[in-house]
A = this chain, B = another copy of it.
Amino acid sequence: MKYRLYYWAEIQGRGEFIRLALEDAGAEYVDVLRSSDRYSMPDSVFALPYLVAGKRVISQTPNILLYLGPRLRLAPRNEAGRLWVHQLQLTIADWLVEAHDVHHPIGSGLYYEDQKREAKRRAADFLAQRLPKYLGYFEQVLRSARGGYLLGKACSYADLSLFQMVAGLRYAFPVAFGAIERRYPRVTGVHDRVGARPRVAAYLASRRRIPFNRQDIFRDYPELDLVGKKSKKT
């Protein structure tokens, strides 16, 4: 099966979670918008990315991975295993939205400059409250899994996504994330193991990997990389 992925050509964004799965599996695929700026949005699709697989059109990042997982050997075939890795992916999806909303707390269609003050408040809350909650959760899952990956010894698409979260957070919050990441050695361990997988390493070193940049979900605004600023709790 030759897959066709439709996602913005200039950013990693949500599409990167699909790209990493396709690359790690050595799947044959075309990242369509990287070579052409002409495409149509199918009526069934609310937002990019979408994947075309034969006659199928599938959208919503976690849904695409749900479909691809067993086919790329990045998820178990049995129902319980598929639901478990999908559950982990949905939690990563929630985390990603929050990482994005740090710099766009008022509206994704507005300029960052027009919501900079609100972004500083949201960043403080994200870094003090939310980031440790997500990291602690995945650290615990990895502790129980006992194999170096979220499901144990086999790498799943959720591990590739966790790699991407760590890479993005290190880029966006070098100071704040750097100050706490030692507390989550299993999470950063997944990052290292995934980054060392031969096909992933080759991908990251290639021009197919779009560099992080300030149009993307993760953005390295120093004014949002806050340390030790506690926000008021309820």
**Interface locus among A22-30, A84-92, A177-185, A200-208:** A84-92
Known A66-B83, A105-B106; contact A60-B122, beta-carbon cutoff 8 A: no
Report A93 CB to chain B, min CB distance, Å: 8
| Cβ-based interface call for A233 (8 A) | yes
A129 to B109, CA, bound (A): 8
Q: Is the CB of A60 within 8 A of B43?
A: no
A204 to B79, CA, bound (A): 33
CB interface residues, A 48-85, toward B, < 8 Å: 56, 58-60, 62-63, 66-67, 79-80, 83-84
Q: Is the CB of A66 within 8 A of B86?
A: yes
A59 to B91, CA, bound (A): 10
- Count of chain copies: 2
Known A46-B91, A144-B43; contact A109-B60, beta-carbon cutoff 8 A: no
- The one of B101, B115, B141, B234 that contacts A111, using a Cβ cutoff of 8 Å: B234
Looking at A46, A105, A232, A233, the one whose CB has the most chain B CB atoms below 10 A away is A46
| Cβ-based interface call for A36 (8 A) | no
Closest to A122 in B: B106
List residues of chain A with CB under 8 Å of any chain B CB.
43-44, 46, 56, 58-60, 62-63, 66-67, 79-80, 83-84, 86-87, 90-91, 94, 97, 101, 105-107, 109-111, 114-115, 118, 121-122, 125-126, 129-130, 134, 137, 140-141, 144, 231-234
25 pairs of residues in contact across A and B, judged by CB atoms under 8 Å: A43-B141, A46-B134, A46-B137, A58-B87, A60-B87, A60-B91, A63-B83, A66-B66, A66-B83, A67-B79, A101-B105, A105-B105, A105-B106, A106-B118, A106-B121, A106-B122, A106-B231, A107-B130, A107-B231, A109-B125, A109-B129, A109-B233, A110-B234, A111-B234, A115-B121
